[in-house]
Chains A and B, each alone.
Chain A
Amino acid sequence: MFSRLFGFLSADMAIDLGTANTLVYVKGRGIVLNEPSVVAIADLRGRKQVLAVGEEAKLMLGRTPGNIAAIRPLRDGVIADFEVAEEMIKHFIRKVHNRGRFASPLIIVCVPSGSTAVERRAIQESAESAGARKVLLIEEPMAAAIGAGLPVTEPSGSMIVDIGGGTTEVAVISLGGIVYARSVRVGGDKMDEAIINYIRRQFNLLIGESSAERIKMEIGAAAPPDHGEEGPLTEVKGRDLMNGVPREVVVSQRQVAESLSEPVSAIVEAVKVALENTPPELAADIVDKGIVLTGGGALLYRLDEVLRDSTGLPVAVAEEALSCVALGTGRALEEMKKLRQVLSSMY
């Protein structure tokens, strides 16, 4: 009964609860928050307390003493640590409402299309116990397509590839519904891992996740530079595995591209499988208009070229690829009546 009353005091939110970053869209205000999905928890004499969330907590990642744990509550697009995820959502709700006590907003959260009912329920429940009045779910590829501005409601196929931190979602959408969707658990995290493994193998150097992510963003590429060039270089610091001392090495784009070949080919494979499973009429539409890439992974240099060459289709990276999902979820929030078809609830 009070939830209704408090609803007036709260700004409804759309949350793109991503493995790497969480974006919050507030009704009427747009995207107000874009922070890493990291929570630092301190163990103070047996009592667990949230120390930091977001950017601040990300700096602590991999640099924590024994009593502090910097945790990423989401893995592969779904909740891995229920309580920490709840704390994180709670923090975001408070932050959006300027620490207002009675905030009880309506929240739309997006879920990977490949998530199970249990995983969806976990996301919905954690958002509810974080203080939401009502929680609705939207499938990530649909949100991404809406956010990218694709004509999803037309009787014409659109293919969207959303490469997030934890998962890559490939979906064919027509008439406002998902015709075919495939979710592979390959994304930015797997790329970072691939870079870590490559550098350990090649240089006997152990680097952290943050360093790997930085390399990926600076010189990462889906395909090696043409004409046998090495491409731009960057240095990376880590711990030498042989003698245990810190060391710095220089890696080239060619090397990074080589290391990323495995996750990139997994993404290409997922797109190909999706194309194979697309009904012929929709496949014809996709041949005409092509594939749209969204998500942080879409910004990987030359990924569109690799996909274009391997599928033979035009490939475009959406404008504002990083926030497409949040924008689409936000649009579902703004036009809830019109877009209610794409929203669901586990209850």
Chain B
Amino acid sequence: MKRLTRPEAAPVGEAARLGEELRDARLALGLSVEDLAASLRIRRGYLVALEEGRLRDLPAPAYALGFVRSYARALGLDEGEMVRRFREVSGPAVRRKTDLVFPEPVPERGVPAGAVMLLGAVLAVGAYIGWYQWSGSGDRTVDAVPPLPPRLEQMARDESAPEPAAPEASAGIVPPPTVQPAPSSAVAATVPRVVVPTPAEPAPVPAPDIAPPPPVAAAPPQPAEGRVVLRAKADSWVQVREGRGGPVLVNRVLRPGESWAAPAKEGLLLSTGNAGGLEILVDGQVVPGLGPGRAVRRDVPMEPERLKAGLPPPGAATAPQ
């Protein structure tokens, strides 16, 4: 049986004095401990412990108080008074409530579920933050496009691709200082697209977005390029289409100094809003312009030979080829 663990802080002397009082009362009645144990049915050991003031050896307070009460009554003492004094001498252990600790099942081995869930949540948040950081850093489209192989870059720099070797040549806008991502869908159709950087601008280049460019393996070195280059002297709006009603290859305003190399295609038509501000170069040589001033020219065929020969007068510009 578990004994009450009770701090012995309470005055032991007091408890012993109370016990002595009980013993004196018992002896005065001429009774032995055995007699009282038999009549009260309380074990002899407990009664002796009570008389000797050994509070440790008594059972839980609720029972001990009952013993004191019964004993005092049997001896003809004032039971209420004795109980009150016993409470006092036994110290806080009796006054305090019995500590109730219910037996709990031993937790399953391993990490508690709460910790697992917390760890999972932390991991998930961490993974999300990591992904967000990674995906957010830099320009994703640029990252997604593999860098231009050094060989091609070299070639592009040499500008050693004057004659279109492949039937399909590429076109590219040579941007002014600001890097601009590939001119999207309109040009996306042209398969190998290489940008000719201006000498001053060896900076990052938008490269073919369809796999590593086939020229490496298939077409012999030079990426095809048209012979016609448009160069702006002043702000001029330029639109180039593949034939009437065909897809628009470019539709923008060229800034002064900016140039646009036309792809090597048949039947390209040029429209501009500032004929005087636009220079046309064929094979690197300036050909006669489209006309003076801020005239609007529409659907000028971009055939190198005809451009070299000089343009038809403005009125005939719209004539069919």
Measured CB to CB, the residues of A under 8 A from B are 146, 148-156, 175-176, 285, 288-290, 292, 304, 308, 312-319, 331, 335, 338-339, 341
B1 on the A face (CB < 8 A): yes
Would you call B66 and A314 a contact (CB within 8 A)?
yes
Would you call A292 and B100 a contact (CB within 8 A)?
no
Q: Give, as a whole number of angstroms, the nearest-CB distance from A136 to chain B.
A: 16
Would you call A289 and B59 a contact (CB within 8 A)?
yes
Task: Report A-chain residues with C-beta under 8 Å of the C-beta of B100.
Answer: 146, 151-153, 176, 335, 338-339
Q: How far is the CA of A149 from the CA of B93 in the complex (A)?
A: 12
List 12 additional A-B contacts (Cβ < 8 Å) besides A149-B98, A314-B63, A315-B66: A149-B97, A150-B98, A151-B98, A152-B100, A288-B43, A289-B60, A312-B41, A316-B69, A318-B62, A319-B65, A319-B83, A338-B100
B237 on the A face (CB < 8 A): no
Would you call A290 and B42 a contact (CB within 8 A)?
yes
Count A-B pairs with CB separation below 8 Å.
Answer: 84
* Size band of the interface chain B makes with A: 20 to 34
Would you call A148 and B41 a contact (CB within 8 A)?
no
Q: How far is the CA of A339 from the CA of B63 in the complex (A)?
A: 22
Q: Give, as a whole number of angstroms, the nearest-CB distance from B4 to chain A.
A: 8
Would you call A289 and B103 a contact (CB within 8 A)?
no
B61 on the A face (CB < 8 A): yes
1/0 contact string of B47-74 vs chain A (CB within 8 Å): 0000000000001111101110110000
B101 on the A face (CB < 8 A): yes
Q: How far is the CA of A304 from the CA of B60 in the complex (A)?
A: 19
Query: Whose C-beta in chain A lies nearest to the C-beta of B45?
Result: A288
1/0 contact string of B92-123 vs chain A (CB within 8 Å): 00000110111100000000000000000000
Q: Could you list 22 examples of A-B contacts with CB < 8 Å?
A: A146-B100, A149-B60, A149-B61, A150-B60, A151-B100, A152-B98, A153-B100, A156-B1, A285-B1, A288-B43, A289-B60, A289-B63, A290-B41, A292-B62, A292-B66, A308-B40, A312-B41, A315-B66, A315-B70, A316-B66, A319-B62, A339-B102
Q: How far is the CA of A338 from the CA of B65 in the complex (A)?
A: 26
Q: Give, as a whole number of angstroms, the nearest-CB distance from B95 to chain A.
A: 10
Task: Report A-chain residues with C-beta under 8 Å of the C-beta of B98.
Answer: 149-152
Would you call B62 and A149 a contact (CB within 8 A)?
yes
Would you call A290 and B102 a contact (CB within 8 A)?
no
Would you call A341 and B1 a contact (CB within 8 A)?
no
Task: Report B-chain residues with C-beta under 8 Å of the C-beta of A150.
Answer: 60, 62-63, 98
Q: How far is the CA of A51 from the CA of B41 in the complex (A)?
A: 51
Measured CB to CB, the residues of B under 8 A from A are 1-2, 40-43, 59-63, 65-67, 69-70, 83, 97-98, 100-103
Task: Report A-chain residues with C-beta under 8 Å of the C-beta of B83.
Answer: 319
Q: Which 6 A-B pairs have the closest CB atoms?
A: A316-B66, A149-B62, A176-B102, A151-B60, A314-B42, A289-B63
Query: Whose C-beta in chain A lies nearest to the C-beta of B102?
Result: A176
Q: Give, as a whole number of angstroms, the nearest-CB distance from A67 to chain B.
A: 47
Q: Give, as a whole number of angstroms, the nearest-CB distance from B74 to chain A.
A: 10
Query: Among B1, B41, B101, which residue has its beta carbon within 8 angstroms of that of A308?
Result: B41
Q: How far is the CA of A292 from the CA of B65 in the complex (A)?
A: 11
Known: A153-B100, A153-B103. A313 touches B62 (CB 8 A): no
Query: Among A149, A151, A176, A304, which residue has its beta carbon within 8 angstroms of that of B103?
Result: A176
Task: Report B-chain residues with C-beta under 8 Å of the C-beta of A146.
Answer: 100
Task: Report A-chain residues with C-beta under 8 Å of the C-beta of B69.
Answer: 316-317
Q: How far is the CA of A314 from the CA of B62 in the complex (A)?
A: 13
Q: Give, as a whole number of angstroms, the nearest-CB distance from A305 to chain B.
A: 9
Q: How far is the CA of A67 from the CA of B60 in the complex (A)?
A: 53
Max count, chain B CB within 10 A of own CB: residue among A156, A318, A319? A319
Task: Report A-chain residues with C-beta under 8 Å of the C-beta of B59.
Answer: 288-289
Q: How far is the CA of A315 from the CA of B2 in the complex (A)?
A: 20
Q: How far is the CA of A29 from the CA of B279 in the complex (A)?
A: 98
Q: How far is the CA of A312 from the CA of B41 in the complex (A)?
A: 6
Would you call A316 and B63 a contact (CB within 8 A)?
yes
Task: Report A-chain residues with C-beta under 8 Å of the C-beta of B102.
Answer: 153, 175-176, 338-339, 341
Q: How far is the CA of A155 from the CA of B102 in the complex (A)?
A: 10
Q: How far is the CA of A84 from the CA of B2 in the complex (A)?
A: 47
Known: A289-B59, A331-B97. A316 touches B1 (CB 8 A): no
Would you call A314 and B41 a contact (CB within 8 A)?
yes
Query: Whose C-beta in chain A lies nearest to the C-beta of B59?
Result: A289
Q: How far is the CA of A318 from the CA of B98 in the complex (A)?
A: 14
Q: Give, as a whole number of angstroms, the nearest-CB distance from B313 to chain A.
A: 85
Query: Whose C-beta in chain A lies nearest to the C-beta of B87?
Result: A319
Q: How far is the CA of A175 from the CA of B100 in the complex (A)?
A: 10
Task: Report B-chain residues with C-beta under 8 Å of the C-beta of A315.
Answer: 41, 66, 70
Query: Whose C-beta in chain B lies nearest to the C-beta of A145?
Result: B62
Q: How far is the CA of A315 from the CA of B63 in the complex (A)?
A: 9
Query: Whose C-beta in chain A lies nearest to the C-beta of B66?
Result: A316
Q: Give, as a whole number of angstroms, the nearest-CB distance from A290 to chain B.
A: 7
Q: Give, as a whole number of angstroms, the nearest-CB distance from B76 to chain A.
A: 14
Query: Whose C-beta in chain B lies nearest to the C-beta of A309?
Result: B41
Would you call B1 and A292 a contact (CB within 8 A)?
no
Task: Report A-chain residues with C-beta under 8 Å of the C-beta of B42.
Answer: 290, 314
Q: How far is the CA of A168 from the CA of B69 in the complex (A)?
A: 23
Task: Report B-chain residues with C-beta under 8 Å of the C-beta of A154.
Answer: 2
Max count, chain B CB within 10 A of own CB: residue among A151, A288, A331, A339? A151
Query: Among A153, A290, A312, which residue has its beta carbon within 8 angstroms of that of B63?
Result: A290
Task: Report B-chain residues with C-beta under 8 Å of the C-beta of A317.
Answer: 66, 69
Task: Report B-chain residues with C-beta under 8 Å of the C-beta of A316.
Answer: 62-63, 65-67, 69-70
Q: Give, as a whole number of angstroms, the nearest-CB distance from A145 to chain B.
A: 9
Would you call A156 and B66 a contact (CB within 8 A)?
no
Query: Whose C-beta in chain A lies nearest to the C-beta of B104?
Result: A341
Would you call A313 and B41 a contact (CB within 8 A)?
yes
Q: Give, as a whole number of angstroms, the nearest-CB distance from A217 to chain B.
A: 18
Would you call A314 and B40 a contact (CB within 8 A)?
yes
Task: Report B-chain residues with C-beta under 8 Å of the C-beta of A155.
Answer: 2
Task: Report A-chain residues with C-beta under 8 Å of the C-beta of B62.
Answer: 148-151, 292, 316, 318-319
